[in-house]
Structure 1
Amino acid sequence: MSLGQIIVVLSTAPIDRGLSNTLGNLATNLGLSLKPYDQLGSIAVGNTHAQRWQVSRELAPTEREAFRKLASTLSLDLAFLAPAFNPSRLRILAMDMDSTLINIECIDEIADFAGKKAEVAAITEATMRGEIANFSESLRRRVALLNGISELVLEAVYRERLRPNPGATELLGAANAAGLHTILVSGGFTFFTQRMQRDLGFTETHANTLEIQDGKLTGVVLGDIVDASGKAMHVKNACKALGCKKTATITIGDGANDLLMMDGSGLSIAYRAKPLVKEKADAAFDRVGLDATLALIA
């Protein structure tokens, strides 16, 4: 069989031995052949079980979707890797914060303290789905609604509502131990990214700064906004500083403003993401935790 795309099945539970036949039947219906990629069978890395197969050629988008639909009915996640994918060449892990690294959209929770969560969250959702193309305009509209809120609310959100998503601590610990350059790049706020850097050990972080005067938010963002282009630029700058290509990066995100950062990376992962992001990413994690990344680079 000619060299083709690698399909990786990811699960929080041991993988059923009959899965190979199920995938094989789908492959046959699509005019493909399928075989085990290696002799290891199913492997367990931390909390994730993984098994790899190889198909006879690169999959078309409709074929990828067919495999993902089948996996979804079996409560499994999938990744599609290039035959030449080489984890040993990876140098950088770059990821989004809100709803990716952590369980909340910080701006929505800040707004909740002012009784404006529904209004702000509606704009956030439309932006992450890609329905509002101008992220900077969207962020300014949402931040303007925070005018007059006490800065103490930021600490309350961090202490009472923010939690790392499943597998985040394990992923960052392993990435740092392996010597990867870890970047948290967010359209959110420095108040939270700086604390995530302290708690999880990111090498560098980039986010937006809220203006605060007399102990209250003014509804203004200071300086240039970290939008989709800004995220991609920070990843590009890290690659340049380390002397590597973007193919040496792992990128993880959930919203439309992460797509430019994810494009062209060696491994792009959509974590509990919007449909547009899952469609374009190499891997989609809807059930496994962030530490399932380690099963893909083992």
Structure 2
Amino acid sequence: MPAQSNFVCLAPFFDDAFIRETRELLTAHAVLTGPGVVRFTDVTPEESVRDAAKAKAAEAHCDSVFTPGELMLASFKAFFFDMDSTLVTTETLDEMAEICGTGEECARITAGTMQGTIKNYAESLRARVALLKGHDAQALETVRAHTKINPGVPELLKALHAHGVKTYVLSSGFTAMTKPLAESLGMTGYHSNVIGIENGLFTGEVTGPDNGPIIDAAGKLAFVEKTMKALGATPREAVCCGDGSNDILMVSAAGLGVGFRPKKVLRPYCGITLDNCGFDALLKLFAETAPRLEAYTE
């Protein structure tokens, strides 16, 4: 028999018909509601029913997740966030290339990489960075000045820090972007690649931290494992958030894997995908930060 769990749906508002139909589908013991959240408790559906419930939620423009009973924020020691198209709205390398006049080719390689059709991440990153060789590195500053944070990020981070949770930017992008981003958001740390700049121009080269290997999917997972070990924990006590193929390994290893508007290639590995809500909606999953819930009445 499948393990008993809760089915949690997140959305700005819910239709009564959706709640009734989902309750019947899951034969939920109880339904609890609060601002922006509905929790169907003590459900034990077969895999096909779980899939049907997730599909129904998606049709209703709800983000949803099955959780093993009540989820506690205290069970998680750290959150790890990809940067491009996760913490921030854009792919920063594509933006830099656009300014330098090589945007179309760079964006083509980026799309193939994030969708998983280009398999070797390190080679794809080197190819994209090489397009910038000899161009003015001021493009990086321009992109940084115009970079926007995705909805709900500041609210989520504020709550996590208040509960003592560590937070990291973990990106295959560049330290010139991740360091100021992490600092501006008050995050614990950052881990990313280094783009070459000499005499104010891009060299066309890129390395990993401390001239090491370029951070790819395996590199992201290695940092999660190393960081969690230092915290006296395992990756199962981490939440990892991303959007593309380069995030598959860390999202798969995490206790909760979050896809933010994820590419198709990442979706099967996510515990929850935020297709509609902002990052602050994640707070409604945890007992310590969820709004007050009351029994649903029609």
| Structure 2 length-normalised TM | 0.89
Q: Give distance in 2, aligned partners of 1:116 and 1:193.
A: 22
Alignment partners' CA distance in 2, 1:198 and 1:88: 24
Describe the SS at the equivalent of 1:97.
coil
Corresponding residue of 2:33: 42
Contact 1:4 / 1:55 at 8 angstroms: preserved in 2?
yes
What residue identity is the alignment partner of 1:251? C
1:233 Cα deviation from its structure 2 partner: 0.9
Query: 1:138-217 alignment to 2 at 5 Å?
Result: 138-160=124-146, 162-217=147-202
Cα displacement string for residues 198-234 of structure 1 (whole angstroms, at most 9, x for unaligned residues):
1101111001100111110011003221111111111
Partner of 1:88: 74
- What is residue 102 of structure 1 aligned with on the other side? 88
Q: Secondary structure at the match of 1:107?
A: helix
Q: Unmatched 5+ residue regions in structure 1? A: none
What residue is the counterpart of 1:11 in the other structure?
A: 11
- Bigger shift: residues 142-151 or 100-109: 142-151
CA offset at residue 69 of structure 1?
2.6
Q: Does 1:288 align with 2:274?
A: no
Find out whether 1:266 has 2:252 as its counterpart.
no
CA–CA separation in structure 1 for the residues paired with 2:67 and 2:90:
29
Q: Give the unaligned 5+ runs of structure 2.
A: 290-298
Answering whether residue 221 of structure 2 is matched by residue 232 of structure 1, we say yes
Deviation by residue 1:149-179 (Cα, 9 ceiling, x = unmatched): 211111101112x100000111111111211
CA distance in structure 1 between the aligned counterparts of 2:281 and 2:49, rounded to whole angstroms: 23
Q: What is aligned with 1:247?
A: 236
Q: State percent identity of aligned pairs.
A: 34
Q: Secondary structure at the match of 2:171?
A: strand
Give yes or no for the alignment of 1:51 onto 2:50.
Answer: no
**TM-fit CA distance, 1:274:** 0.7
Aligned residues: 283
CA distance in structure 2 between the aligned counterparts of 1:116 and 1:65, rounded to whole angstroms? 42
Q: Do 2:6 and 2:43's aligned partners in 1 also have CA atoms closer than 8 Å? A: no
Instruction: Decide whether aligned partners of structure 1 residues 56 and 11 sit closer, same or farther in structure 2, where only a CA change above 3 A counts.
Output: closer
Give yes or no for contact 1:85–1:266 (8 Å, CA) kept in 2: no
Change (3 A) 1:115 1:67: farther
Distance in 2 of aligned mates of 1:93 and 1:119: 33
CA contact (8 A) 2:84 2:90 kept: yes
Alpha-carbon spacing, 1:229–1:21, altered in 2? closer, same or farther (3 Å): same
Kindly report which structure 2 residues correspond to 1:61-80, keeping only aligned pairs within 5 A, or say none.
63-80=49-66
1:24 corresponds in structure 2 to 23
Q: For the structure 1 residues 249 and 215, does the alpha-carbon distance in structure 2 shift closer, same or farther, using more than 3 Å as the test?
A: same
Deviations, residues 242-293 of structure 1 (Å, cap 9, x unaligned): 1012221111110011011111312111100012222221101011001111
Counterparts in 2 of 1:258 and 1:98: CA distance versus 1, 3 Å: same
2: distance between equivalents of 1:227 and 1:197? 20
Q: Report what 2:294 is aligned to.
A: none
- In structure 2, relative to structure 1, the CA distance for the partners of 1:273 and 1:35 (3 Å cut) is same
Q: Counterparts of 1:214-225 in structure 2 under 5 Å?
A: 214-222=199-207, 223=211, 224-225=213-214
| AA of the residue aligned to 1:141 | A
Q: RMSD of the TM alignment (CA)?
A: 1.9
What is the SS of the residue equivalent to 2:139?
Answer: helix
Q: Aligned equivalents of 1:155 and 1:59: distance in 2?
A: 51
Offset from partner CA, 1:51-73 (integer Å, 9 cap, x none): 1114643653x554433332222
Distance in 2 (CA, whole Å) between partners of 1:226 and 1:84 is: 35
